[in-house]
């Protein structure tokens, strides 16, 4: 993750052990399915990052995304 922090540090909104959320696009050569590469999960038009593994947002096509580690019942953004 150090590589991504150094390269995208000014645009990082959220970082975890296995991923980041940024306000800029990640270099396409760093995105893929191989071990160690970033996985593109989508673009959020609006987002709120509350705590580690707790965030939500609205995609460009107005779909809601809420991620809360350990939450059994879904909630809306």
Q: Summarize pLDDT for 7-28 with one digit per residue, the tens.
A: 999 999 998 877 889 999 889 9
Mean pLDDT, rounded, for 23-41: 89
What pLDDT shows up at residue 64? 92
User: Roughly how many angstroms between the first and final C-alpha of the chain, as a whole number?
Assistant: 28
User: What number of helices (H) and strands (E) belong to the chain?
Assistant: 1, 5
pTM over 0.75: no
Q: Is residue 40 scored above 80 in pLDDT?
A: yes
């Amino acid at each position: 993750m150090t590589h991504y922090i150094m390269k995208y540090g000014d645009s990082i909104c959220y970082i975890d052990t296995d991923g980041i959320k940024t306000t800029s696009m990640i270099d396409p050569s760093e995105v893929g399915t191989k071990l160690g590469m970033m996985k593109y999960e989508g673009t959020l038009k609006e987002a709120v990052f509350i705590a580690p593994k707790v965030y939500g947002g609205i995609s460009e096509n107005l779909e809601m995304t809420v991620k809360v580690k350990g939450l059994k019942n879904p909630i809306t953004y």
